[in-house]
Amino acid sequence: MQNTLYVPGDSCVHRLDPVSKILLTVVGLVLTFVLPGHLLPALLLAAMLVLLGTAGVLRRVWAVFAGVALIAITFFVVQGLVYAGNATPALTLGPLTFYREGLLLGLRLTFRLYNILASTLILILTTRPSDLVESLVRRGLPSRFGYVIIAVLQIIPIMVEAAGRITDAQRSRGMETEGSLWVRMRAFIPLMGPLVTSSLIATEERALALEVRGFASNRKPTFLNDETIPSYAWPVRIAALAVLLLGIAGRVMLS
């Protein structure tokens, strides 16, 4: 049961510890909003893609990028047509005139969108969720929060499966669950009652099971897996922070 976007692998990016990857992601996200113009955001995106390529996860990245392409196109269309600072016509398609200023803003927003995605995907695609949470728990995140984060990843597909079972049962008793949007919407309401009820019952049973496995124990937890931090983690962290400082300093000097 694969419930996460994690792509198994043994690249140097995969082997990097979760904390370093969180730092890379945060640096990428901050720079996304700090870097001015178009060239620097393009370079940031290129750097992120190099990292993702090194991890061997580009196929998954392209799929995600393609999934949000409509949003990027919307940026160009809307800003190119109606941006308040539009002054220089760049392209005319029938009755529509796109302006240079709006299209450049659309490009800037598109870089932001893809830089946010790329920064986040470095963490998500190359880190096992349980490793990520465990790493945070080792550093003081309350284990209850850690449990909630990780359990949600597993529980959502289970709820989807339960919803399928309930729908099958309702269908077997003659309820229409497929067809037009209206039919599907009508079928959704009677699904919610049993789904919520069964989920609440399952939650109580799971709470009991966790309780008797010592979940509420006040003892300091230990971990099954040793945390391995590769030798290149610190150079990566320092380089990431240096790039972040350079980006912020450049932005301050330019403004």
Partner 1 sequence: MSVIKVENLRYRYPRQTELALDGISFTVEPGEFVGIVGPNKAGKSTLCQALVGLVPHFYKGAIGGRVEVAGLDVHATPVAEVSRKAGIVFQSPFTQMSGAKFSVYEEVAFGLERAGIPREEMLRRIEWTLRLLGLWELRDRNPFALSGGQMQRLAIASVLVMQPEVLILDEPTSQLDPAGTSEVFAAVTDLCRQGMTVVMAEHKVDRIAARPTRCWCWTGARCWPGARPAWCSAGRGSRSAAWPSPP
Give Cα 91 distance to the centre of its chain.
35
Cβ of residue 199: shortest distance to partner 1, in angstroms? 11
Cβ of residue 203: shortest distance to partner 1, in angstroms? 8
For position 197 contacting partner 1 by CB under 8 A, the verdict is: no
CB nearer partner 1, residue 40 or residue 202: 202
Q: What angle do CA 119, 121, 127 make, to 5 degrees?
A: 115
Cβ of residue 140: shortest distance to partner 1, in angstroms? 16
Residue range at the interface with partner 1 (CB under 8 A); choices 43-51, 64-72, 177-185, 219-227: 219-227
- Cα(157)–Cα(1) distance, rounded to whole angstroms? 9
For position 228 contacting partner 1 by CB under 8 A, the verdict is: no
For position 89 contacting partner 1 by CB under 8 A, the verdict is: no
Out of 11, 54, 143, 177, point to the residue binding partner 1 (CB under 8 A).
143
3-state secondary structure of 175: coil
User: Per-residue DSSP letters for 107-156?
Assistant: HHHHHHHHHHHHHHHHHHHHS-HHHHHHHHHHTT--HHHHHHHHHHHHHH
List the structure tokens of 197.
């009820």
Binding region for partner 1 (CB under 8 A): 1, 128-130, 143, 147, 150-151, 154-155, 158, 202, 205-224, 226
